[in-house]
Structure 1
Amino acid sequence: MDRRAFLAGGAATLGTAVAGCLGRGSADAYDVAMVSDGFVPQSTVAVPDDAPSWVPRDVPTLEVSVGDEVVWENTGARNHTVTAATRRHGEVEAVLGIPDDGGHSHPSFLPEGASFFSSGDFANEVAATRSFIEETNGGGAIAPGERYAHTFEVPGWYHYFCIPHLPAGMMGNVRVRE
């Protein structure tokens, strides 16, 4: 065998293997991409008219089944979080300095029996927000290229947000069906 052909073939094989290891993975390796200031689900559904009134209609919505794990991947260049919105969301907005314009309320909540979820595994969204603000590297931060996953065990509607980018409108919904 020609030495150059052997080396060229070996280099091509090695290059392909390294590229596969260094790549961010295929798009189907995650369900929701986190970009500059938005969540981008691999597929979206429209929020139906019969959804609870607190579910935002104008944010990306992913639909999954009970028992499904949802994976968020930070495909952008800035740190993000994934934090469930609850009845305490108004407190979070106050901590973040988002003015209460009186034209909206956030009575969003988790379905009965559902567990709170957040990157960083905090007890509630106020603790997650305070930790993100107070810690040097932002408590619960998902760095570029990293992932966060949560398994949804209870059917219903979930609303979530990114703590540092909530003022920019970085929010999403997950509808969990039986």
Structure 2
Amino acid sequence: MVDRRTFLATTGALAGGLTAGLAGCLGRGAGDADHDIGMSSSAFLPAEYRVEPGTTVIWKNTSTHAHTVTAYENTLPEGTAYFASGDYETEQQARDAWYEHGGGAIYAGKTFAHTFEQPGRYPYVCIPHESSNMAGVILVGDVEEADG
């Protein structure tokens, strides 16, 4: 038979663990999380993220694999600034840098941030995991869903 103190200590620890685990899922504005989008070994989590214009989005590498955040340049809204980890000015520069020397890599525990000023859809990819379909989209303002 379990005594009352053991029972209370066990259930309290379980409840605390569950609360801490859920807090990481809530996102930056709702808890103590320090990022909006996580990077697993082969996926952006979440793959689709909606924000209002002027919002800074923070990606964090939550895996042990090196990743990039690289915009698909030809699909960005007209007149918007290009974005990529490593601060490259074009998609081709970002790709060349990755293949030549791992340029733009975001290592475990590190972050990349970009502010989205204009409404629109902003598709992006992780270059080293592109063949595994590691891609995402930022939806800024009142735009259709990614698959709509």
- Please report the TM-score for the alignment, with normalisation by the length of structure 1: 0.61
TM-align CA RMSD:
1.8
Comparing both chains, which one has the higher relative contact order based on Cα–Cα distances under 8 Å and sequence gaps of 6 or more? 1
**Which one-letter code corresponds to 2:38 in the other structure?**
A
- Partner secondary structure for residue 131 of structure 2: helix
Aligned to 1:125: 91
Of 163, 170, 178, 2:134 maps to 170
Aligned to 1:80: 67
Matched-pair identity in %: 43
Name the one with the larger helix percent.
2
Aligned to 1:140: 104
Q: Could you tell me how far apart the structure 2 residues matched to 1:82 and 1:27 are?
A: 23
Q: Could you tell me how far apart the structure 2 residues matched to 1:84 and 1:115 are?
A: 10
Is 2:34 aligned against 1:68?
no
CA deviations over 1:7-59 (Å, ceiling 9, x no partner)? xxxxxxxxxxxxxxxxx997631000001000002xxxxxxxxxxxxxxxxxx
- Please report the TM-score for the alignment, with normalisation by the length of structure 2: 0.73
**Which one-letter code corresponds to 1:110 in the other structure?**
L
Structure 1 unaligned residues grouped into runs of 5+: 1-23, 42-59, 88-108
Map 1:1-178 onto structure 2 (within 5 A). 28-41=33-46, 60-87=47-74, 109-135=75-101, 138-177=102-141
Q: Could you tell me how far apart the structure 2 residues matched to 1:115 and 1:86 are?
A: 9
Structure 2 unaligned residues grouped into runs of 5+: 1-23, 143-148
Larger radius of gyration: 1
Q: Could you tell me how far apart the structure 1 residues matched to 2:98 and 2:76 are?
A: 21
**Which one-letter code corresponds to 1:163 in the other structure?**
I
Q: Could you tell me how far apart the structure 1 residues matched to 2:68 and 2:32 are?
A: 19
Deviating above 4 A after TM superposition, structure 1's stretches of 4 or more consecutive aligned residues are 24-27
Q: Could you tell me how far apart the structure 1 residues matched to 2:94 and 2:80 are?
A: 17
Q: Could you tell me how far apart the structure 2 residues matched to 1:27 and 1:119 are?
A: 24
**Which one-letter code corresponds to 2:110 in the other structure?**
E
